[in-house]
Structure 1
Amino acid sequence: MRHVYISSFLLLSALLMAGESFSHDDSPILEGPYLGQNPPGLEPEVFAPGIVSIASWGDAGRFSPDMDEFHVLRWGRENNQRVTESVTFKRMDNRWHEVAVPGRDGVPFFSPDGKTLHFGKRYKERTKDGWSEMKSLGSPYEEIRIMSLTASENGTYVFDEVGTGGDGIIRYSRLVDGKREEPKPFGKEINTGTWNAHPFIAPDESYIMWDGDRENGYGSSDLYISFRKPDGSWGEAINLGDKVNTDAEEGGPQITPDGKYLFFNRVVTRKSGATDSDLYWVDARIIEGLRPRQ
């Protein structure tokens, strides 16, 4: 796939001044929300096949809070070396335009207010001119091997850790009276099984989702959810069920900023026998069907 290596600011400025659209000659025209894709129902579907989810590459992606950007990371192997490719789809005048982002090795997590981009233990802040230079969360986060960090509207961090021998756990850190608490591990409701990773906390902190490997799962890793109880504690982990989880590996759950769809990754095996990862989406009502009745 061909990309134009140009900064987002210069691209958008050029389009606005020229009053013309930007697209690849060999790419379909994408118009409307969700990159022009028809939304799924309660059965998961591959998201934007051939556009975001590309055969022979692993793919992950996330919308910005205003739903006008979709950030993608692709990974694969060339000459026995891991290679990555980052692109961003931007919507202007209801049409999506693809822009390559050289040097970015990861999909940022936007804070719910859109003012911070989190890259694990690092982050960028929105400025009047765009985004700041990359900053560090500092100690103790620098000492933790974080893969994914998400944040709630109240500023609570929820993040994972690459463990020794795969025994990773999920931690949280609250913002109380403007001061950040020391990270603490969640209880056994969440940190149970062989490992747990790639958490997502709902903006209102009403639930947490993640992927993990447990004896009662469908495959090597499944998606789980824990709902917050009225007393503030966390409920037992609930497997998202066989509509989402399979005997393959599922991971990286997230909800779109409008709250309508669940995105996640699934390892797939191609006809050639090679494996990679596709991005799937499904109606978020599937989550409400799992919520315990009080």
Structure 2
Amino acid sequence: MKNLLTILFVALIASCSMAQPGKWNTKNKKAIKLVEAGMDAAHNAPIDQNGRLDFSDAINYFDKAIAKDPNFTDAYILKAEYSMRGGDPEAAIQAYHTLIAIPTFTTSTGYVYYDLANLEFANGMYKEALEHAQKYATYRTAPDDMKQENQWIILNSEFAIEAMKNPVPFDPVNVGSGVNTYDPEYFPTLTVDQNNLLFTRRVTNERTGQWQEDFFISENDNGYWKTGEPMPTNINTSFNEGAPTFAPDGKTLIFVGCAVERVGYGGNRRGYGSCDLFITQKVGTKWLDPINLPGMVNTKHWETQPSLSSDGKTLYFIRGQIRGTGGRAQRNGDIYMSKLQEDGSWGEAEKLPDNINTKYSESSCLIHPDGKTLYFSSNGHIGMGGYDLYMTQLQPDGSWSDPVNLGYPINTHHDENSLLVFADGKLAVFASDRPGGLGSLDLYQFVLPETVRPTKTIYMTGTVFDIVSRKKLGAEFSLKDLETGEEVVRSYSDPMDGSFLVSLPINKKYALFVNKEGYHPYTVNFDLVVPENSEEPYHMDVPLTPLSQPTSGEIALANVFFDLDSDKLRPESFLELNAFAAFLKANPKMKIELQGHTDSQGDDAHNMTLSQGRAKSVYNYLVQQGVDAKQLTHKGYGETRPSTFTDASGNEVKRTEEWINALPTDKAKKDAHQQNRRTVYIVLEN
């Protein structure tokens, strides 16, 4: 793919710079006659099988004219311009090189150097482009817009030359025939467990004979991608579907549907513009009919290339519109983001700042599962030419870092886009038409250079179930960063099989909250610290206790924390206690006993006093939040009631002092003592 700027500019030059008949700069009548015959042939050029005007006859006449007079500069200009318009930039460059080497060649405007620099830059000839752009910069009478574009060529050529001196590691490997075919494949998206790859394929509609875009999905089989299967017919239609984005669990899909003013093709696909975003969800094994994305994202413009954050609450996408009359700015796209509202709709979209969005075009945005690293494609930032791939990161203050070019040879003078970065941050996939592929556009996998990697994330899996009946449950769950109190993920387990899957940045402390009507809330906290090279997911099952079940067993308030050897609640406890207060107020007939427990270390009497104070602190906080004091009692048990668990044989085991002392490692002993230090409640009356 060639730089659109070059094509459009050359067309402009062709219309305004050619010498007029009778004013040719040669006295050779045969050469003049051949050039004029070439002009006639150009005006009557046929259209070739690719839909491009075929100027080969005209160029043959120009070559013959040059043979008659090798110093006929107008003939070289015509050959260069029509070679470019005919899709042969190499021939155009060669014609210009020969032209400027002619001793008698002069130009008062210098446009030939400008035109040549554009051609050379668009074809990766950076040293030559720099030389000729610098030559054009000496012509002070050049129009301001051309001066600006010429300076752009200089800056980019300098960057490209330096980038090629310092290449980044890059060894792309075709992902295989399970995914790639003779047809073009592009716009990949991946579930966070890296087991399902969804991508767009351009296929031919057997009924109409026209091409269309459909989705295919391939499963990972021990590192190999199985043959991609088309998505069901309520997703794939006879129109275009493309640029999908998965939620991390693979059960929510947002995608682009174009020509959307229609009904009856996989549901109601009416929209607001030529291309809109649609959403569908997977329940069990079935995908629901897509609907127009609720809220304020879709407009009269086209919305495309969505990317959903790992917490499911921020959507990044491209909004495009026609802007300008030519060059890089003709078809403009900007990166926008929208936030999920409490009612499930998407709020008014905001454009990312000007250090990300340029006056030219941005596309192919991807927010990594770490929630802060954004990859995108642009032809408006300094790079190698065409569209390059860049990375920016969301800063703690809400700003975005200045974009970083991913480097050469990931980026080249061709257009690079459709980047997908795996959750682990090591691997990436992109679409390329490089030689040796199976078709025009294939998907390739490569190791991402360390300098442009995101924060490593792993995925957490689990199943929500009824602790009594073992029935799988659909429930709302929330994961929060214990350090910041911010919600990292809010999602739902599958109502059919109770499963959930989320992605989480590593080396952080998290609190898990699970709620379902008719059940006691479930909470737990954990440190997501993983070995350096571990790729194993974190697994946690969630047993929910029904409110209707009489229980004398304790239910943990796992995210209630106190200062060391103190009954003062730490601020991170408020997340859980606020939610628990709401639960108690929603169940006013429930009466509970709040219990404080300690481990067996230290003085017995001190431990008893400490546990009583902690239970009282929780009681006081809940009452302050509006819970009826009649629902609550509180008591401390010190070290008298060690926690219990069920071992692999189904036996209930108490974490007594003797049992702890028999554990093989200091870490195991420390963890056991931690299990005994707990705040819980028991239900007295339901």
Q: CA deviation at 1:139?
A: 4.3
Unaligned runs of at least 5 residues, structure 2: 1-167, 257-276, 323-329, 456-686
1:209 and 2:375 matched = yes
Would you say 1:151 and 2:287 are equivalent positions? no
Distance 2:353 2:186 in 1: 31
Deviations 1:105-146 (A, max 9, x none): 335311124331111310111213422111211343332411
Q: Which runs of structure 2 are paired with 1:169-184 in the superposition (5 Å)?
A: 169-175=334-340, 180-184=346-350
Structure 1 residue 229: Cα displacement? 1.9
Q: Is 1:114 paired with 2:250?
A: yes
Match of 2:126 in 1: none
**More helix per residue:** 2
The yes-or-no answer on 1:277 pairing with 2:413 is no
Mapped contact 2:303–2:319 kept (Cα < 8 A): yes
**Kindly tell me: are residues 158 and 111 of structure 1, through their superposed partners in 2, closer, same or farther at Cα, counting changes over 3 Å?**
same
What's the counterpart of residue 227 of structure 1? 393
Amino acid at match of 1:276: S
For the 8 Å contact 2:340–2:347, the answer to whether it is kept is yes
Alignment CA distance shift 1:113-1:129 (3 Å): closer
Matched with 2:292 is 136
- Encode CA deviations 1:196-230: one digit per residue, 9 max, x unaligned: 01111122322111111026221210001111223
- The residue type equivalent to 2:287 in the other structure is W
- 1:201–1:47 Cα change, 3 Å: same
8 Å contact 2:368–2:454 — kept in the other structure?
A: no
Report the alpha carbon displacement of residue 86 of structure 1 after superposing the two structures with TM.
4.2
Q: Does 1:167 align with 2:337?
A: no
1:218/1:247 contact within 8 Å kept? yes
Per the TM alignment, residue 87 of structure 1 is displaced from its structure 2 partner at its CA by 3.1
Code of the aligned partner of 1:260: K
Pair 87,153 (structure 1): closer, same or farther in 2 beyond 3 Å: closer
Q: How does 1:238-277 map to 2 (within 5 A)?
A: 238-268=404-434, 276-277=440-441
Structure 1 residues 287 and 122 mapped into 2: Cα distance closer, same or farther (>3 Å)?
farther
CA–CA distance in structure 1, aligned partners of residues 403 and 223 of structure 2:
39
Task: Note if 1:98 corresponds to 2:214.
Answer: no
In 2, Cα distance between equivalents of 1:270 and 1:59: 16
Residue identity matched to 1:126? K
Q: 1:150 offset after TM fit, Å?
A: 1.0
8 Å CA contact 1:63–1:257 kept in 2: the answer is: no
Q: Give the residue type in structure 1 aligned to 2:252.
A: T
Q: Which moved more, 1:98-107 or 1:168-177?
A: 98-107
Q: CA deviation at 1:59?
A: 3.8
| Equivalent residue number for residue 360 of structure 2 | 194
Higher mean alpha-carbon deviation, 189-198 vs 81-90, is at 81-90
- Distance apart, 1:171 and its partner CA: 0.3
- 1:181 is displaced (CA, Å) by 3.0
**Corresponding position: 1:89 with 2:218:** yes
CA deviations over 1:202-261 (Å, ceiling 9, x no partner): 223221111110262212100011112232210111111113100111001221244331
Distance 1:150 1:129, change over 3 A: same
Q: Quote the Cα distance in structure 2 between the aligned partners of 1:215 and 1:175.
A: 30
Q: Deviations over 1:71-123 (max 9, x none)?
A: 23222679994344543223468875425316523353111243311113101
Asked if the contact 1:252–1:265 (Cα under 8 Å) also holds between the matched residues in 2, the reply is: yes
> Is the CA contact 1:117–1:125 (under 8 Å) kept in the aligned structure 2?
yes
**TM-score under structure 1 length normalisation:** 0.71
Partners in 1 of 2:405 and 2:398 — Cα distance? 21
Larger deviation: 116-125 or 261-270? 261-270
Counterpart amino acid of residue 279 in structure 1: L
After TM superposition, the structure 1 stretch with the greater mean CA deviation from structure 2, 211-220 or 116-125, is: 211-220
Q: How does 1:51-90 map to 2 (within 5 A)?
A: 51-55=178-182, 57-75=184-202, 81-84=210-213, 86-90=215-219
More strand by share: 1
Structure 1 residues 74, 178: CA separation in 2 closer, same or farther (over 3 Å shift)?
A: same
Question: Would you say how many aligned residue pairs link Structure 1 and Structure 2?
Answer: 248
Runs of 5+ unmatched residues, structure 1 = 1-40
Contact 1:58 1:76 in 2 (8 A): no
Structure 2 residue matching 1:109: 3-state secondary structure: strand
Contact 1:70/1:90 (CA < 8 Å) preserved in 2? yes
Verify the 8 A CA contact 2:186 2:442 in the aligned structure 1. Answer: yes
Supply the distance in 1 between the matched residues of 2:204 and 2:285 (Cα, whole angstroms). 36
Q: Distance in 2 between matches of 1:49 and 1:91?
A: 12
State how far apart, in whole Å, the 1-side matches of 2:316 and 2:425 are.
19
Preserved contact between residue 198 and residue 252 of structure 1 (Cα < 8 Å)? yes
Change (3 A) 1:94 1:263: closer
| Superposed CA offset, 1:39-95 (max 9, x none) | xx9314133244433456344433323322222322267999434454322346887
Query: Paired residue for 2:138?
Result: none
SS in 2 for 1:148: strand
Paired with 1:45 and 1:125, the residues of 2 have a C-alpha distance of 33
* Cα separation, 2, equivalents of 1:148 and 1:234: 20
> Partner amino acid for 1:200?
L
Q: SS of the residue aligned with 1:162?
A: strand
Q: Distance in 1 between matches of 2:296 and 2:185?
A: 31
Contact 1:240–1:290 (CA under 8 A) maintained in structure 2: no
Percent of pairs identical after alignment? 22
Who is 2:170 aligned against? 43
- State the alpha-carbon separation in 1 of the partners of residues 253 and 223 from structure 2: 24
For the residue of structure 1 that corresponds to 2:242, the secondary structure is: coil
Does the 8 A contact of 2:425 with 2:454 survive in 1?
Answer: no
Contact 2:190 2:197 in 1 (8 A): yes
Asked if the contact 1:161/1:169 (under 8 Å) is kept, the reply is yes
What is the DSSP-based 3-state SS (H/G/I as helix, E as strand, rest coil) of the residue aligned with 2:298? helix
Structure index of larger Rg = 2
Task: Please name the residue that 2:628 is paired with.
Answer: none
Amino acid of the residue matched to residue 168 of structure 1?
G
Aligned residues of 1:63 and 1:71 also touching (Cα < 8 A): yes
